[in-house]
Structures are given as C-alpha cells and as structure tokens.
Structure 1
Amino acid sequence: MADSSLYLVCNTCGTQHPTSDRSALTTCFICDDPRQYTPPSGQSFTTLSALRSEKERRNEFHPFPGDPRFTSIVTVPKFAIGQRAILIQTPRGNVLWDCVTFLDDETVRRVRAMGGIRAMVISHPHFYSSHLEWAEAFGCPVYLAAEDRRWLARRSQESQEFLEVVETRVEVDGEDTGVRVIKLGGHFPGSLVLLYDGHLFTADTLMMTPAGLANWTVDALGNPRERPKGVNTFSFLWSIPNMIPLSASEIARMWSILKNYDFTSAHGLFPGWDIKDENVKARVLESMQIQIKAMGYGEHPFLKEVL
C-alpha cells in the first residue's frame, strides 16, 4: 500500500492528491477552477511528510471564549488557505467541522484526549484538504455534499458519505448528536453550513465582512454608539478570492432555506471570525438585501422579505 504521507499536497489550497509522482501531477484541478487561483509564483506541491518535518509546524487548539464545547484547530505557520477546523463536543460524541491539511501524531493525541472524532462534516471542496487522513486516524465517517462529489481528489467508499437532502441529522451509534447539516449551495452547488445549539458555522458559504466583525459598540472616546445603518455583516460570493458575487436569485434561494432555522451566533472560516448577537439572523437577511440592491436590483421582490 502506498504511503499517503508522500502524496502531493497543493501549497495553495491544501488539497491532497493520490499520487507522489511529481511528473504526473503538474497542476491542481481545484486551483484551476475559476473559484480558486494559483499564486504569481506558480503551482507547487509539498507532502504531509515534508510538513511534519518542519520544526515549527504544528496545530494550535483554541477553545471558544466562554464555551469550551467548541475548539478551533489552526495550523501555524499558516498553510494554504489557512482555514480553521472546529471540534464540536456533544454529549453523543465529537463532530469535526471542516478540516485542515496538517495532521501529525501530536494532533491525534490531543484530539483523542478530548474524546476523539465520531463524525466529520466538510463545508465545500476548498476544505477537503486531507480529510481521508483524519478519517483514517479517528475511524470516523466524513459527510460531504453529493453535488460536489466531482471535486474529490481522493475517494473512499468506507469513509465518505454523501448528503443528498437539504438537512441531515448527524448521529453517532444511532443517537442524535443535535448537529444539523444544512445544504445552502451558493459558493459551490452543495455548500454546507452546520447548526448546533444556536451556533451557525458558516465557513465561507456566508462570508463574514470587516464591517460585520467590526466593534461598533463605542466611539473613539468610549461612548456608547449604535451600529451604522446600511453596513453589511456577510457577503455571498461564487468566488471569494476572485470576488465574483452570487446572483440575486441564488441569494434569495439560500435564504428560503436558512430562514427556517434559528441561531444567535455565527462562526466563519478563520480564527476570530465569530459573531455572538441575538440579531445575527436579521443581519444575514439585511446583508443579502444590501448586496442585491448594490448589484442593481433595486426593485427585486426579495428586498421586501422580512423576518
């Protein structure tokens, strides 16, 4: 059996490809897609073995402030896109939301000490990374959207489970974990979000903006202030790095699904991209309407949508 630690890994997106032959793999099909890119320096690959040999390379674990049920796992120094994985601890077992490419013995040890992983859910193909390495290490299934099956570099009938429906309940040994996986589409046809106990994990299906993460609570003198009207919290993009927006009709379709769920916090793809606000659902709707109006659809029926 081939040593998967020698499989080539794209330096730009972190996808692990099922070959160690550099002459056979000269480009990454994920990065060749118009939603992604290759850097000015060009396409390049590394391996998990090479990453593990780097003295400073590690995964850091950051519990959410005030709620240790959620822990961000972040690779430092930053690798590829730099997204976080989030370990969600439920009474029925741990669920990993999204995935980082880097996995070493110390990461496996720390995660096992926290209860291991009973299921993984990955939001979209840009974060498929090395998910089969994680699935093998923890003996767990990986839930992926059926619509995005074509973007898999590595395949496993034993580990990969494909979601066909809009909502999926994540179960462990037949017991409901309380985790809901919701298929919104948009960025990719099967782009997912995850909902657990009022926390909405968005990846970049709903892309948090600087205005959304800003501190509007006080002015420069420390006086209370209100958030200015008309600033968005999220943007809705077909391509994040290339800044190509979704259509008005696609945004409205996404809301037709998301409006059926309640949540009071949202958590994006990078560390620190967290919003705790009982009005965050209204901010999603407001952001959608701001974007649709800014794209020139001033009379779009969706602009009349209310909670």
Structure 2
Amino acid sequence: MAFTPEPYNHSAIADWLICKACGTQFPTSDRSALGTCHICDDPRQYVPPSGQAFTTLAELQQTHRNEFTTYAPDPRLTLIATTPKFAIGERAFLIRTPGGNVLWDCITLLDEETMARIDELGGLKAIVISHPHFYTTHVQWARAFKCPVYIAAEDKPWTTMDSKHQVLVTETETDIGGTGALAIKLGGHFPGSLVLLFDGRLFIADTLLTTPAGLGRWHVDGTGEARQKPPGLNTFSFLWSIPNAIPLGVDELARMWAILKAYGFEATHGAFLGMDIEDGLVKQRVLESMQIQTRYMGHEQHAFMRETP
C-alpha cells in the first residue's frame, strides 16, 4: 500500500491523555480541556463508579508491561496482553503469515520493549482493529511500525485523530495486503464490527462474545472421562452492549449469519485471554448459539430458526 508514513515521535505524544476505562488516546495533554471520553459515554461502554479518569503513555510505561505468549496449538500466533490489566483488558494477536505479520486488534501500551520484540518477530505488515473499543493508541502503533491500520469506514467517527495510516474498510470482505488474512465486516456490536479470517481461524474479538459455556470442558472431575456438551448450552452471545448486557435482535443475527455462513473456520479466538475454541464444529456452534438467543428472546417461529449450517 502506497502512502507516506507519518513519524513516530514518542516524546511528542507521551503525555497525551488516555482514558483509564477504555484505553483510548486523545491528542491533548491538557487535563482541563478533557473532562469526558465519548467512547465511555456511549451505552456500549461505561464510566466507572469512581468517575472518568485519565493517564498517559509515559505513566503506563512505568507501571505496566506487555507479555508475549506463543499460542501452543499454532505457533504462528503470538498473544500480546498488558499486565497488570489495563482498561478493558483485551489482547492483541500477532499473526505470522507468508505475506507478513498482521496485528489483530490493538492494546494501549506501546513501549520500546514491545517495539523491539515485534521487530524481532518480523515487524508488522498491517494492523486490523475489530471495533472502536479497541482503537486505543492505534495511530501510534501504525506510525511506529510504518504500516496501514484497517478500520471500518462506518466507525471512523469514533476515532480521536486522523492519520494517513488509517485505511477505511468499505466492503464486506477485504484482503489484508496479500497476507492471506481476510477482514469480514459483520456489524452488530458496532455498524462496522470486523472479524478476521486466516487459515481456518476466525478472530472474533467480541463481535461474537465467547461464553463460559462455550469454553466448558465436559468431563468428570478426577476421572478424565469425556462426555458430550449438554444440549441447549450456547457458545457465543451476540450483544449490542457487552458491559451493559443489551442483546442484538433476531433480524441483526440473521443478517450477520447470512454473511458468516459463506466462510469456513475450525477455531475462534475471542477478545480476552483464554477465549480460544479449537473445534471443527465451531461454525455450527455459532449458528446454534444465535438460534438459542433467538428462542429466548421469544422468536421461536422466526424464519431464522430454520437456518442450517
């Protein structure tokens, strides 16, 4: 992709304010000029009981660090998560592809150690971000690694700054720079919410929210005896607002499935540590979960209930 990279100047942005609740960076260091965060004032997020508060990259670099973990079932994937937990607490994935490394989703903390570690792994060809809750410091990441960052065109108004590095995704399906990774626009949580498909792995953030039942291991404690997952348990929930538990309606679920059904995948990777499902039937579990949600919202007779994988 041809564009002139913008300079990454840590000293210039180290004191810019960052929302402690969602991790979004604002292009100002003037605390008197910023009293609220538009991301957290939206019903899909929240302001904590303690009130709106801000920090900076300079402060975070003194108290937090990023941990890198190779994903055991597929060493092409490296998980990056901030410790101790900061803001929403999402993880990013560094995905090594034949065409270059793709970073799926973004975390706030960017420091010299993180940059050096990613450079050791081959740098970044592109960044793709699922939705505005994870926009965080994405412009600084894109500048630091001199790469494009893909975000949905519909969700651009949620960004806090403009950058030539931002690539606005307008199509339902977008190839990510010849890497073999495919951004798929599902919507739902946000109008432009994205998932990423690479080699049978679907990176879902919380566009599809992985549930505790979905992660269950169905065996008898102490014996290791395996059994089938009990019927009627979902694997995913589909929410307009995750923290405030506002569900998506059945027509939106049907629209999302009409897009997703065209793709094959055998694993899903959610927004947070541990939210990984390795199951050749996971696509079927997506539809089953959508239909469970539809049923309990009172739409047993909706045409969507007749959909099959």
TM-score interval for Structure 1 and Structure 2 normalised by the shorter chain: over 0.9
Does 2:165 match 1:163? Answer: no
| Equivalent in the alignment of 1:183 | 185
CA distance in 2, matches of 1:28, 1:215: 39
SS in 2 for 1:62: strand
**Count of residue pairs brought into register by the alignment:** 300
Partner of 1:123: 130
Q: Which amino acid aligns with 1:275?
A: I
The answer for the alignment partner of 1:246 in structure 2 is 248
Deviation per residue, 1:193-217 (Å, 9 max, x gap):
0000000000000000000011114
What whole-Å deviation, never above 9, does each CA across 1:130-182 have from its counterpart, x for those lacking one?
A: 001111110000000000011001211x20010100000011xxxx2110000
Does the residue aligned with 1:288 lie in a helix, a strand or coil?
A: helix
Q: Distance in 1 between matches of 2:281 and 2:75?
A: 23
User: 1:223 Cα deviation (Å)?
Assistant: 2.1
* Residue matched to 1:47: 56
Which residue number in structure 1 is paired with residue 95 of structure 2? 88
Give structure 2 stretches of 5+ with no counterpart.
Answer: 1-8
Determine whether 1:261 maps to 2:263: yes
Q: Does residue 145 of structure 2 align to residue 138 of structure 1?
A: yes
- Residues 257-291 of structure 1, C-alpha deviations (whole Å, 9 max, x = no match): 00000000000001111000000000000000000
How big is each residue's C-alpha offset from its partner over 1:54-91, in whole Å with a ceiling of 9 and x where there is no partner? 2xx11000111131100110000000000000000011
TM-score (norm 2): 0.95
Q: Which residue of 1 aligns with 2:15?
A: 6
1:73 aligns with 2:75: no
Distance 2:51 2:252 in 1: 33
1:113-141 CA-partner distances (Å, limit 9, x unpaired) = 00001100000000000001111110000
Within the alignment, does 1:229 sit opposite 2:224 as a pair? no
Distance (whole Å) between structure 2 residues aligned to residue 218 and residue 110 of structure 1: 41
Separation (CA, whole Å) in 1 of partners of 2:300 and 2:62: 55
Aligned counterpart in structure 1 of residue 108 of structure 2, from 101, 105, 117: 101
Contact 1:217 1:227 in 2 (8 A): no
Sequence identity of aligned pairs in percent? Answer: 60
Alignment counterpart, residue 200 of structure 1, candidates 199, 202, 209: 202
CA displacement at 1:220 relative to structure 2: 5.4
8 Å CA contact 1:219, 1:225 repeated in 2:
no
**In the alignment, residue 167 of structure 1 is paired with which amino acid?**
E
- The RMSD of aligned alpha carbons is 1.1
Letter in 2 for 1:30: I
- Partner Cα distance (2:220, 2:306) in 1: 31
Give the partner amino acid of 2:157: R
Tell me the SS of whatever aligns to 1:178: coil
- Distance across 2 between alignment mates of 1:207 and 1:189: 16
The one-letter code sitting in structure 1 at the alignment partner of 2:143 is E
Q: Which residue of structure 2 lines up, in the alignment, with residue 306 of structure 1? A: 308
Q: How does 1:9-20 map to 2 (within 5 A)?
A: 9-20=18-29
Deviation at 1:36, TM superposition (A): 0.5
Amino acid at match of 1:44: A
Encode CA deviations 1:80-121: one digit per residue, 9 max, x unaligned.
000000000011100000000001000000000000011000
Cα distance in 2 for residues equivalent to 1:8 and 1:30: 14
Contact 1:187/1:238 (CA < 8 Å) preserved in 2? yes
SS of the equivalent of 1:298 reads coil
Q: Look up the equivalent residue of 2:176 and give its one-letter code.
A: V
Paired with 2:298 and 2:216, the residues of 1 have a C-alpha distance of 26
Is it true that 1:59 corresponds to 2:58 in the alignment?
A: no
Structure 2 counterpart of 1:16, one-letter code? Q
Separation (CA, whole Å) in 2 of partners of 1:98 and 1:186 = 17
SS at match of 2:14: helix
